[in-house]
A and B are shown apart, each in its own frame.
Chain A
Amino acid sequence: MIESKGWILLALAFAVLLVLLNLSTIEEKASTPLFGKETEDKFDYEMQGMQTRQYNIDGVLTSTLSADKLIHFPGKKVIELTAPSLLFSVSEQLWRLNAETGSLFELSEELVLDKWVRINNIVDNKSALDGATHPAGISIEVNQLTFNLQQQIASSPNQVKISSADWSLQGEGLSIDVKKQTLKILNKVEALHENR
Chain B
Amino acid sequence: MKIVRLLKLSYLLSFFCSNMTVAALAENEDFKLTANSTSINMQSGLTQFSDDVVINHGNLKIIAATLSQQQDTSKKQEKMQLTGSPAKIQFKRENSSLLTTIEAENILFYPDLGILKVSGKSKLQISENDQLQTVIRATFISLKLSTKKIETIHAEGAPLYYYLSGGNGKDDITATAEKLALNQKTGDVELFNASVKQKNDEFRAGLILVDGATGNLSASGGKNNVRPSLSIELDEELINSNKKQDKKP
- Tell me, yes or no, whether A binds B: yes
Question: B231: CB under 8 A from chain A?
Answer: no
- Give A116 to B27 CA distance when docked, in angstroms: 32
A61 CB, min distance to chain B CBs, angstroms: 13
The interface size of chain B toward A, counting residues with CB under 8 Å, comes to: 36
A180, B49: Cβ atoms under 8 Å?
Answer: no
B31 CB, min distance to chain A CBs, angstroms: 4
B37, A189: Cβ atoms under 8 Å?
Answer: yes
- Give A187 to B50 CA distance when docked, in angstroms: 10
Closest to A104 in B: B2
* Chain A window 178-192, contacts with chain B (Cβ cutoff 8 Å), 1 for yes, 0 for no: 101111111111111
Stretch at the interface among A13-21, A43-51, A83-91: A83-91
* Chain B window 1-41, contacts with chain A (Cβ cutoff 8 Å), 1 for yes, 0 for no: 01101111111111111001011001011111111111111
B37, A186: Cβ atoms under 8 Å?
Answer: yes
Chain A residues with CB below 8 A from B42, complex form: 181-183
A184, B32: Cβ atoms under 8 Å?
Answer: no
Q: Which residues of A from 71 to 110 have beta carbons under 8 Å from B? A: 86, 88, 90-91, 93, 95, 97, 104, 109
Chain A residues with CB below 8 A from B10, complex form: 88, 90, 93, 95, 119
Closest to A167 in B: B20
Chain A residues with CB below 8 A from B242, complex form: none
> How large, as a class, is the contact surface on chain A?
35 or more
Question: B43: CB under 8 A from chain A?
Answer: yes
Chain B residues with CB below 8 A from A194, complex form: 30
A189 CB contact (under 8 Å) in B13, B31, B34: B34
B41, A182: Cβ atoms under 8 Å?
Answer: yes
* Chain B window 188-219, contacts with chain A (Cβ cutoff 8 Å), 1 for yes, 0 for no: 00000000000000000000000000000000
Chain B residues with CB below 8 A from A171, complex form: 37-38
- Give A191 to B13 CA distance when docked, in angstroms: 16
Question: A128: CB under 8 A from chain B?
Answer: no
A184, B37: Cβ atoms under 8 Å?
Answer: yes
Stretch at the interface among A2-10, A25-33, A34-42, A147-155: A147-155
B224 CB, min distance to chain A CBs, angstroms: 49
Known A86-B6, A149-B6, A169-B38; contact A164-B16, beta-carbon cutoff 8 A:
yes
Question: A121: CB under 8 A from chain B?
Answer: yes
A184 CB contact (under 8 Å) in B23, B34, B39, B43: B39
B49 CB, min distance to chain A CBs, angstroms: 6
Chain A residues with CB below 8 A from B38, complex form: 169, 171, 184-185, 189, 191
B23, A190: Cβ atoms under 8 Å?
Answer: no
Chain B residues with CB below 8 A from A195, complex form: 28-30
B22, A191: Cβ atoms under 8 Å?
Answer: yes
B7 CB contact (under 8 Å) in A88, A164, A186: A88
Chain A residues with CB below 8 A from B36, complex form: 187-189
Chain A residues with CB below 8 A from B5, complex form: 149, 152, 178
Known A191-B33, A192-B32, A193-B30; contact A181-B6, beta-carbon cutoff 8 A:
no
A138, B16: Cβ atoms under 8 Å?
Answer: yes
List 7 interface pairs A-B (beta carbons < 8 Å), by A numbering. Answer: A86-B6, A90-B14, A119-B10, A149-B6, A184-B40, A189-B49, A192-B30
Interface residues of B (CB under 8 A from A): 2-3, 5-17, 20, 22-23, 26, 28-43, 49
